[in-house]
Amino acid sequence: MRIAVTGATGVLGQQAVEALVAAGHEVTGVTRRERGLPIVEGRGAHGVIADVFSASDLERTFRGHDVVINTLAKIPTGMGALRPFAWREDDRLHLEASAAIATAAARAGVGKLIQESSMFMYPDNGSKWISEDHPLAVKNQAFKPRVREMRAAVDFAENGRSAVILRLGQLYGRDPGTTYALRKTREGEAVLLGKPSDYLTLVHHIDAGRAFLAALGARSGFYNVGGEPITRARWAKDLGREARAGMDAKFFPAATQAVLPAKMDVQRRSLRVSSIRFMRETGWRPTIGPSSLGWSRI
Name the site residues for ligand NAP (rule: CB under 6 A): 7-13, 31-33, 36, 52, 72-75, 77, 89, 93, 118, 168, 170-171, 175-177
Instruction: Work out how close the CB of 224 gets to ligand NAP at its nearest, in angstroms, rounded to a whole number.
Output: 11
Q: How many helices (H) and strands (E) does the chain have?
A: 12, 15
Q: How many CB atoms lie within 10 A of CB 199?
A: 23
Residue among 48 and 245 whose Cβ is closer to ligand NAP = 48
Residue among 13 and 227 whose Cβ is closer to ligand NAP = 13
Which residues on neighbouring strands pair with residue 163, listed in sequence order?
Answer: 113
Residue among 72 and 159 whose Cβ is closer to ligand NAP = 72
Residue among 76 and 240 whose Cβ is closer to ligand NAP = 76
Instruction: Work out how close the CB of 158 gets to ligand NAP at its nearest, in angstroms, rounded to a whole number.
Output: 27
Which value, to the nearest 10 degrees, does the dihedral of the CA atoms of residues 114, 218, 2, 170 take? Answer: 40
What is the C-alpha separation between 126 and 109, in angstroms, rounded?
43
Amino acid letter for position 68:
V
64 Ramachandran zone, left/alpha/beta (phi>0; psi -120 to 50): left
Residue among 109 and 176 whose Cβ is closer to ligand NAP = 176
Q: Mapping DSSP to helix (H, G, I), strand (E, B) and coil, where does residue 11 land?
A: helix
- Closest among 87, 104, 193, 102 to 144, alpha carbons compared: 87
Residue among 175 and 207 whose Cβ is closer to ligand NAP = 175
Instruction: Work out how close the CB of 160 gets to ligand NAP at its nearest, in angstroms, rounded to a whole number.
Output: 29
Instruction: Work out how close the CB of 36 gets to ligand NAP at its nearest, in angstroms, rounded to a whole number.
Output: 4
Q: Which residue is nearest to ligand NAP (CB)?
A: 10
Residue among 31 and 282 whose Cβ is closer to ligand NAP = 31
CB 39 within 8 Å of CB 101:
no
Instruction: Work out how close the CB of 282 gets to ligand NAP at its nearest, in angstroms, rounded to a whole number.
Output: 18
Instruction: Work out how close the CB of 140 gets to ligand NAP at its nearest, in angstroms, rounded to a whole number.
Output: 18
180 Cβ neighbours under 8 A, 6+ residues apart? 77, 78, 191
Instruction: Work out how close the CB of 163 gets to ligand NAP at its nearest, in angstroms, rounded to a whole number.
Output: 19
What is the C-alpha separation between 170 and 296, in angstroms, rounded?
14
221 Cβ neighbours under 8 A, 6+ residues apart? 132, 164, 165
State in Å, rounded, how far the first CA of the chain is from the last one: 28
Residue among 21 and 160 whose Cβ is closer to ligand NAP = 21
Instruction: Work out how close the CB of 33 gets to ligand NAP at its nearest, in angstroms, rounded to a whole number.
Output: 5
